Copies of this chain bind each other. A is one copy, B any other.
Amino acid sequence: MTDRRDNPSGEDSLIARYFRPLAADPGAFDLGDDAAVLQALGDDIVVTTDAIVEGVHFLAGDPPDTIARKALRVNLSDLAAKGAIPAGFVLTLALRAADDAWLASFARGLAEDIDLFGCPLLGGDTVATPGPLMISITAFGRVPGGKMVRRNGAKPGDRVVVTGTIGDAVLGLDSLKGGAVATALAGDAAANQMLVGRYRVPQPRSALAKAVRDHAHAAMDVSDGLAGDLAKLCAASGVSAAIDAQSIPFSAAATALLGRGTVGIGALVSGGDDYEILCTIPEASFELFAQDAVRAGVAATSIGTVIADTSPPRFLDGQGREIVLARLSYSHF
């Protein structure tokens, strides 16, 4: 489509320059219409929406391409945890000003993730705001009818499983803010860079979506801290859980900071921005699930068991004693 005659407004011109090239899906109509078409192809459409705000979910100085990636990936993480395959997304961008260098970098990061995750841009809205930047994304996925994985299906005896590693992002944020982690890692640029990367660019476990759908009784993504999100999953399912804290997967960098006392386990399991999948898998399926995870290239670690109880989930140390999380939280966080 060429806007050869109408006088494009600033918004139209901005969309044409930076975002039209990202909208290759035929249902996006080159962003030249008022709406997009999403075909269900016989499946259920899974819908999730998450916004990120400057100064709250990302920092003003974060590179624009990582801001774009984070905005999309926090939504892709939800889709993966629900067992859904990405189908597309719409984007609302609230900007103070249309800065070309910023927008070019933002669009480049978004374009790379659109290709990487096969999730086309279907539409959007750009608005001016005098306030902080905000990116709101609504993302769509497909699951066979009735097969979205809920939070509320965990059963006593299920294994509690988490992907990747826990707590890196909160350490990366502390480092970016010049906190204790920055001091502790002053001599270790590689570890510091890894942790900052985990904060800025989540790794949605899209490759595990089908295995979650095939095997999990319940699943959600860990975005507000493992402990709190596990409590939500247990409450929704009417169960409790016993977590073996020694089994929780921590990165080498996090383990070193734990060992040095820079951070406590409480801060790691209650920090946010992990964007890993938390799910419960029946014992009988666990081996198959683990094999699927290996094939998908996603680390999946069994960290405890669902139990028939109505108390909050408990985190237990090597001697089976309950870890009181609040007391173990590192005060900086």
Task: Show the binding face of A for B, using Cβ within 8 Å.
Answer: 1, 3-7, 9, 29, 32-40, 44-53, 55-57, 78-79, 81-82, 84, 90-92, 94, 122-125, 127-132, 134, 136, 138, 140-141, 143, 145, 148, 150-152, 220-221, 224, 228, 231-232, 234-236, 310-312
Contacts and interface: CB of A to CB of B under 8 A. Distances in A.
Given A36-B48, A49-B124, 5 more contacts: A3-B232, A35-B48, A35-B78, A55-B130, A130-B131
16 contacts: A5-B312, A6-B234, A33-B150, A35-B48, A38-B46, A40-B40, A47-B90, A47-B122, A49-B138, A51-B92, A51-B125, A55-B130, A90-B138, A92-B92, A131-B131, A136-B136
Given A33-B152, A151-B34, A152-B33, A127 B53 contact: yes
Contacts of A91: 49
Contacts of A52: 127
A26 to B, nearest CB: 11
**Majority SS at the chain A contact face:** mixed
Nearest to A87: B45
Nearest to A219: B34
A47 B56 contact: no
Contacts of A47: 35-38, 90, 122-123, 140
Contact of A134 (B57, B78, B127, B231): B127
Contacts of A125: 49-51, 136
Nearest to A147: B37
A122 B47 CA distance: 8
Nearest to A46: B35
Contact of A123 (B9, B49, B136, B141): B49
A81 B57 CA distance: 36
Contacts of A4: 235, 310
Contacts of A310: 4-5
A37 B148 contact: yes
Nearest to A11: B224
Given A38-B44, A47-B90, A90-B138, A152 B78 contact: no
